[in-house]
């Protein structure tokens, strides 16, 4: 679907399915509400899928990678060559996201949205989806990161990839990212949309020191000053201070919502993408599950802006979709509870005496 | 092993294995420390098992059930007959713990530590371990819940059951409970060991109303006043205000530590048992992983007293080991990261530029 049509397709949750799931929860052999967030999750999933007994058996993590011109400003602890190196690692199955996705029985889809360097081993490239918008973004500290056409195209590619995964049978999607330097555009997006100063949002990313963090905050301040992104226009924000993988992930999230599939939003980068998606279509929020609160400075504020309550708090800050892969277990637990637990009647258990 | 011998066998964590696990974490293809608590867990597990590459593949939840004379005081929202009914539900596989243990590929062991009523279907009883210390405890609001001999015997039965599971191949144990009324003895134990007033600890359990909660607090205050448990003598506390399943779970925890196996402590009841175990042998603490913080009022204080930082906060308050079964996924993730991720060398990824 085209972006405009996708946005139009995003409807409210199905309240009848939610009521039905809630009613079933209250017949299961446990005190009402005693499974807390597991119960709430199952009800949200019923609303998302319009199915009173939702399933999240078939899981896909979409990991989008791209490079960032702003790395020339010295905002990252790692050199830009690490982006293609880590993508090769994803394709060989050796990265954290591969390990955690295997455990969760989830498929990993790796997308090149605009890596600058070369992916080393050509035989691995068969498994890489090439949807390159460019060879890395321009340096957002000096001008727009991309053109408005590239911004829209990045979202469009994300929509197409998500739709292909849903057509393949995915019950639930999750977002992941790889891109050296990408906490800088993610923070800049959050600053622009929330009207927050960079020092409230920017963090250490992969691990810059005090001086590096200062430099990063100054770079974001300069980017906002040079580009003047319009916080009421998410496409303008993505164009001026975004990244190709962030646009792609916003597209994945919008397509999930338009197709009534839950989407698990990972950490800092994915949440910036989620903010773009919600700014484009506010109902998208209800289709999201926030996996975890990351250690990265502004993440908590960003989740609050979205109105999302993260499932996990594990002091993680890796990205790749690792938090989302962990959250899959909890989300699946919620659906299994709804499907597999005995009711008071079935089990012959006495109900509460009131 | 006898209790005294078990306590003697509890040794400090293996620091060499921990250093080795920590060093390996730092070679894996991710910024150092970026997997936060997953990294810490893997290091703790290495120390527990004295194995730099620990495994938690074979998982067992030990669910101990018993009844409580104090239910006669009207401290629970459910009638006491629910204890045997729910135990039948466990044996048929219809309860929340069955669902969540299946998902985690964990074995469930159900133990009758002293249920007052009858388990309905005799064919189910083949799968029930009968280690009955009595037919429910005495009413702790009027005198000691059990004799000192029963208290010690309950711990001893727990040790034996845990040792049998370890002999059978369990890599990791988790604790679960069932017993209508058991948040009252659990809260009383916590009050006695922490020297806290009941209103700081007692909560709504399975769902008593305001009046019920007031009554429960008064009952605990009376129990502490009538029995005067000695907070420096955990066996005296268990005797006077405990429960058979709580003693049993304390034994499970002690035996796990003595045999260098990790033990996942579930919610409010299990944490009271963990407090008894730590009061008997303080090194036991290092062998514990707190699954979650429950909604039950005093649980956070109890975890702080133990020095444990719970993995999950899902607003749950069911018991049965349900929080522990969810935590298994996160704990297993930590070991898989350590075993399966590629190192920087293997993956040809550049390290941090500093």
Kindly state the tokens that stand for A86.
Answer: 């880590």
Pick the closest to residue B250 from B263, B260, B241 (CA basis): B263
Band (pLDDT 50/70/90 cuts) for residue A354 is low
Query: For B208-236, what is the mean pLDDT?
Result: 97
CB contact (8 A) between residue A350 and residue B37: no
Which residue among B35, B348, B353 sits closest to A96, beta carbon to beta carbon? Answer: B35
* Marked catalytic residue, from A320, A340, A346, A351: A320
3-state SS, residue B227 = helix
pLDDT at A54: 98
Q: Kindly provide the ipTM of the predicted complex, given to two decimals.
A: 0.97
Residues in chain A closer than 8 A to B100 (CB atoms) = 333, 336-337
Check whether B252 has a pLDDT greater than 60.
yes
User: DSSP character for B173?
Assistant: E
Q: pLDDT category, B352, cuts 50, 70, 90? A: confident
Least Cα distance to A155 among A136, A185, A131, A171 occurs for A131
Check residue A353 and give its pLDDT.
61
Q: Do B92 and A37 touch (CB under 8 A)?
A: no
> Residue B295 and residue A353: Cβ atoms within 8 Å?
no
pLDDT at B122: 67
Q: Give me B245's structure tokens.
A: 């399943």
CB contact under 8 A, A94 and B295: no
pLDDT band at residue A247, thresholds of 50, 70 and 90? very high
Contact B61, B108 (CB under 8 A): yes
| Mean pLDDT, all residues of chain A | 96
CA-wise closest residue to B292 among A258, A292, A36 = A36
pLDDT digits (tens, 9 = 90+) for A217-233: 999 999 999 999 999 99
Determine the average pLDDT of the residues in A228-245: 98
What percent of chain A is modeled with pLDDT above 90? 95
pTM of the model: 0.98
> How sure is the predictor about B126, in pLDDT bands with cuts at 50, 70 and 90?
confident
Distance between CA atoms of residues A131 and A111, nearest Å: 7
Q: What is the pLDDT of residue A124?
A: 76
Average pLDDT over residues B39-66: 98
pLDDT at residue B90, rounded to an integer: 97
Q: Per-residue pLDDT tens for B262-294?
A: 999 999 999 999 999 999 999 999 999 999 999
| DSSP-based three-state secondary structure for B176 | strand
* Tens digits of residue pLDDT in B304-345: 999 999 999 999 999 999 999 999 999 999 999 999 999 999
Q: Is the dihedral of CA A284, A286, A288, A290 positive or negative?
A: positive
Separation in Å, CA of A45 to nearest CA in chain B: 16
- Give the distance from residue B31's alpha carbon to the nearest chain A alpha carbon, in angstroms: 6
State the Rg of chain B over Cα: 20
The verdict on whether A81 is a catalytic residue reads no
pLDDT of residue A278: 98
A118 has pLDDT over 90: no
Which residues have CB under 8 Å from A88's CB, separation 6+? A119, A120, A121, A124, B347, B348
Residues on chain B touching A38 (C-beta within 8 angstroms)? 314, 316
Residues A316, B78: C-beta atoms closer than 8 Å = no
- The answer to whether A34 contacts B318, with C-beta atoms less than 8 Å apart, is yes
pLDDT digits (tens, 9 = 90+) for A269-326: 999 999 999 999 999 999 999 999 999 999 999 999 999 999 999 999 999 999 999 9
Assigned token pair, A48: 């998302």
Verify whether the Cβ–Cβ distance B350 to A82 is below 8 Å: yes
Cross-chain Cβ contact B318/A100 below 8 Å: no
CA B243, B244, B250, B253 dihedral sign is: negative
A121 — pLDDT class (breaks 50, 70, 90): low
Max Cα-Cα span within chain B: 70
Q: Please give the backbone phi and psi of residue B4, each rounded to the nearest 5 degrees, phi first.
A: -60, -45
SS3 string of chain A? CCHHHHHHHCCCCCHHHHHHHHHHHCCECCCCCCCHHHHHHHHHHHHHHCCCCCCCCCEEEEEEEECCHHHHHCCCCCCCCHHHHHHHHHHHCCCHHHHHHHHCCEEEEEEEEECCCCCCCHHHHHHEEECCCCCCCCCCCCCCCCCHHHHHHHHHHHHHHHHHHHHCCCCEEEEEEECCCCHHHHHHHHHHHHCCCHHHCCCCCCCCCHHHHHHHHHHHHHHHHHHCCCCCCHHHHHHHHCCHHHHHHHHHHHHHHHCCCCEEECCHHHHHHHHHHHHHCHHHHHHEEECECCCCCCHHHHHHHHCCCCCECCCCCCCCCHHHHHHHHHHHHHHHHHHHCCEHHHHCCCCCCC
Pick from A34, A81, A329: which is nearest to B317 by CB?
Answer: A34
What does the longest C-alpha to C-alpha distance in chain A come to?
70
Query: Which pLDDT value is given to residue B353?
Result: 61
**End-to-end alpha carbon distance in chain B:** 53
B118-to-A159, A247, B87, B178 alpha-carbon distances in Å:
58, 62, 10, 15
DSSP classification of residue B106: E
Which of A80, A119, A210, A315 would best serve as a mutation to test chain B binding (most B beta carbons within 10 A)? A315
Rounded CA-CA distance B13/B36 in Å is 20
**Which of B39, B296, B320, B332 is the catalytic position?**
B320
Nearest neighbour of B352 by CB, restricted to A77, A342, A349: A77
pLDDT at residue B124 in the model: 75
Does residue B354 have a pLDDT over 60?
no
Per-residue pLDDT for A40 more than 70? Answer: yes
Testing the interface with A: which of B26, B40, B95, B295 to mutate, by most A Cβ within 10 A? B95
pLDDT higher than threshold 70 for residue B14: yes
At residue A122 the predicted structure's pLDDT band, cuts being 50, 70 and 90, is: low
What is the per-residue pLDDT across B140-158, written as a single tens digit (0 to 9) for each? 999 999 999 999 999 999 9
Mutate which of B25, B90, B340 to test chain A, going by most A C-beta atoms within 10 A? B340
Collect all residues of chain B within an 8 Å Cβ-Cβ radius of residue A180.
none
Confidence at residue A351, expressed as pLDDT on a 0 to 100 scale: 83
* pLDDT single digits (tens) A53-110: 999 999 999 999 999 999 999 999 999 999 999 999 999 999 999 999 999 999 999 9
On whether the CB atoms of residues B176 and B252 are closer than 8 A, the answer is no
| Structural domains of chain A ordered from first start | 3-53+338-347 (1.10.1610.10), 59-330 (3.40.50.10210)
Match 């919502």 to its residue by tokens: A257
Tell me the two tokens of residue A159. Answer: 């929509």
């Amino acid at each position: 679907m085209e972006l405009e049509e996708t946005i139009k397709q995003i409807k409210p949750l199905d309240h009848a399915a939610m009521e039905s799931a809630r009613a079933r929860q209250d017949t299961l052999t446990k005190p009402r509400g005693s499974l807390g967030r597991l119960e709430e999750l199952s009800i949200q999933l019923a609303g998302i899928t319009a199915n009173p007994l939702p399933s999240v058996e078939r899981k896909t993590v979409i990991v989008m990678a791209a490079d960032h011109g702003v790395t020339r400003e010295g905002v990252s602890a790692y050199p830009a060559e690490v982006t293609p190196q880590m993508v090769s690692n994803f394709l060989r199955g050796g990265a954290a996201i591969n390990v955690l996705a295997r455990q969760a029985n989830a498929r990993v889809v790796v997308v090149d949205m605009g890596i600058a360097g070369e992916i080393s081993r050509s035989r691995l490239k068969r498994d890489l989806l090439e949807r390159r918008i460019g060879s890395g973004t321009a340096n957002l500290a000096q001008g727009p990161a991309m053109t408005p056409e590239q911004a829209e195209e990045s979202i469009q590619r994300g929509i197409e990839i998500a739709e292909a995964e849903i057509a393949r049978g995915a019950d639930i999607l999750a977002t992941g990212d790889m891109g050296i330097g990408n906490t800088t555009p993610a923070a800049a997006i959050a600053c622009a949309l929330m009207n927050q100063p960079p020092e409230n949002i920017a963090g250490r990313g992969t691990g810059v020191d005090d001086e590096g963090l200062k430099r990063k905050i100054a770079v974001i301040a300069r980017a906002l000053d040079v580009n003047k992104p319009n916080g009421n226009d998410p496409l303008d924000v993505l164009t001026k201070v975004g990244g190709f993988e962030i646009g792609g992930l916003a597209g994945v999230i919008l397509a999930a919502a338009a197709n009534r599939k839950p989407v698990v939003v990972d950490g800092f980068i994915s949440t910036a993408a989620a903010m773009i998606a919600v700014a484009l279509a506010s109902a998208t929020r209800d289709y999201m599950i926030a996996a975890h609160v990351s250690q990265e400075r502004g993440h908590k504020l960003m989740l609050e802006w979205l109105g999302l309550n993260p499932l996990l708090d594990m002091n993680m800050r890796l990205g790749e979709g690792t938090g989302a892969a962990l959250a899959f277990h909890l989300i699946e637990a919620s659906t299994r509870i709804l499907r597999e637990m005995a009711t008071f009647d079935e089990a012959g258990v006495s109900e509460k005496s009131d």
